[in-house]
Structure 1
Amino acid sequence: MLRFSQFWTKKTLIGLGLGQFLSLLITSTGFSSSELARKGFNAPTSQSFLNYVLLATVYGSTMLYQRKALKAKWYYYVLLALVDVEANFLVVKAYQYTSITSVMLLDCWSIPAVMLLTWLFLHTRYRFKKIAGVLVCITGLVVVVFSDVHAGDRAGGSNPRKGDLLVIAGATLYAISNVSEEYLVKNADRVELMSFLGLFGAIISAIQISILERNELKSIHWSAGAAVPFFGFAVAMFLFYSFVPVLLQINGATMLNLSLLTSDMWAVLIRIFAYHEKVDWMYFVAFAAVAVGLVIYSGGERGEDEQRSYVVGDEEDAEASKHFEEAASGSANHNQGAGTSSKV
Structure 2
Amino acid sequence: MSKVPNVDERPAPLANDAEISSNAPVERISVRPKGTFNSPGASSSGTSSGGEHSRGAVEMMNSDSTQQPPVQISAEELDRKKGRFGYLKTKQFWIVLALSQALAVSITGTNTISGLLAGEGTSIPAFQSLFNYVLLNLIYTSTTIYKYGFKGWLKLIWKDGWRYAILAFFDVEGNYFTVLAYRYTTILSAQLINFWAIAVVVIISLLFLKVRYHIAQYVGILICCGGLGMLVASDHITGSNGGQAANAVKGDLFALLGATFYGLSNVFEEFLVSKTPLYEVIGQLAFYALFIIGVQAGIFDRHSFKTATWNAKVGGYLTGYTLILSWFYSGAPVVFRMASAAFFNIGLLTGNFWGVIVGIRVFGLTIHWMYPVAFVLIMVGHFVYYGTEGVLGEARKPWLGENQEGGDDGLFTARRQLERPNAIV
TM bin, normalised by shorter chain, reads: 0.7 to 0.9
Specify the alignment match of 1:236 in structure 2.
324
Correspondence for 2:231 among 144, 149, 174: 144
CA distance in 2, matches of 1:308, 1:211: 40
Residue equivalent to 1:32: 113
Q: Match of 2:129?
A: 48
Structure 1 position 3, deviation (Å):
5.6
- Separation in 2 of the partners of 1:173 and 1:210? 21
Q: Does 1:126 align with 2:207?
A: no
- Do residues 13 (structure 1) and 94 (structure 2) align? yes
Q: Write the deviation string for residues 275-333 of structure 1: whole angstroms up to 9, x where unpaired.
A: 6642210111111100111122134432456634155338xx978x79xxxxxxxxxxx
Match in the other structure for 1:99: 186
Instruction: Give the direction of change, closer, same or farther, for the CA distance of 1:195–1:154 in structure 2 (3 Å limit).
Output: closer
Query: Partner of 1:67 in structure 2?
Result: 148
TM-score in terms of structure 2 length: 0.70
Map of 1:108 onto structure 2: 195
Partner SS, residue 146 of structure 1: helix
| Aligned-partner Cα distance in 2 for 1:74–1:264 | 36
In the aligned structure 1, how far is the partner of 2:261 from the partner of 2:375?
26
1:1-344 paired onto structure 2 within 5 Å? 7-67=88-148, 69=152, 70=156, 73-147=160-234, 148-151=236-239, 153=241, 155-272=243-360, 277-299=365-387, 300-304=389-393, 307-310=396-399, 312-313=401-402
Q: State the Cα deviation string for residues 91-119 of structure 1 (Å, max 9, x = none).
A: 01111111111111111110011011111
- The one-letter code matched in structure 1 to 2:186 is S
How far apart are 1:188 and its partner, in Å? 2.1
Q: Which amino acid aligns with 1:185?
A: V
Following superposition, the deviation at residue 219 of structure 1 comes to: 2.1
Q: Structure 1: which amino acid aligns with 2:129?
A: S
State the 1:150 CA deviation. 4.6
The answer as to whether partners of 1:59 and 1:194 remain within 8 angstroms in 2 is yes
Change (3 A) 1:227 1:260: same
Deviations 1:180-201 (A, max 9, x none): 1000101122111111111111
Paired residues of 1:56 and 1:198 also in contact (CA < 8 A)? yes
SS at match of 1:158: coil
Taking a change above 3 Å as real, the CA distance of residues 216 and 304 of structure 1, as seen in their structure-2 partners, is closer
| 3-state SS in 1 of match to 2:391 | helix
* Residues 1:250 and 1:131: Cα distance change in structure 2 (over 3 Å): same
Q: Answer whether contact 1:130 1:297 (CA < 8 A) is retained.
A: yes
Kindly indicate whether the alpha-carbon contact (under 8 Å) linking 1:18 and 1:247 is maintained by their aligned counterparts in 2. Answer: yes
Percent identity of equivalent pairs: 34
Q: Secondary structure at the match of 2:401?
A: coil
User: Relative contact order (alpha carbons < 8 A, sep ≥ 6): 1 or 2 greater?
Assistant: 1
Structure 1 window deviating more from structure 2 (207-216 vs 136-145): it is 207-216
8 A Cα contact 1:271 1:277, kept in partner: yes
CA distance in 1, matches of 2:289, 2:277: 18
CA change 1:155–1:220 in 2 (3 A) is closer
Residue 77 of structure 1 deviates from its aligned partner by 0.8
Give the Cα–Cα distance (whole angstroms) in 2 for the partners of residues 262 and 298 of structure 1.
17
Looking at structure 2, the residues matched to 17 and 213 of structure 1 have their Cα atoms a distance apart, in angstroms, of 36
Take 1:170 and 1:276, find their aligned partners in 2: how far apart are those partners? 30
The structure richer in helix per residue is: 1
Separation (CA, whole Å) in 2 of partners of 1:231 and 1:272: 23
Distance in structure 2 (CA, Å) of the matches to 1:52 and 1:201? 7
Bigger Cα displacement from structure 2, 276-285 vs 303-312:
303-312
**Structure 1 pair 228–144 and aligned structure 2 pair: CA distance change class (3 A):** same
For 2:249, what is the secondary structure of its paired residue? helix
The answer on whether the counterparts of 1:124 and 1:305 sit within 8 Å (CA) in structure 2 is no
Query: Does the C-alpha gap of structure 1 residues 273 and 263 become closer, same or farther in structure 2, counting only changes over 3 Å?
Result: same
Summarize deviations over 1:44-84 as a string: whole Å, max 9, x none.
11111111111111101111111264396111111111111
Q: Do the aligned residues in 1 keep the contact of 2:339 with 2:394 (CA within 8 Å)?
A: no
Q: Deviations over 1:220-265 (max 9, x none)?
A: 2311121111111111110000011101001010010001000110
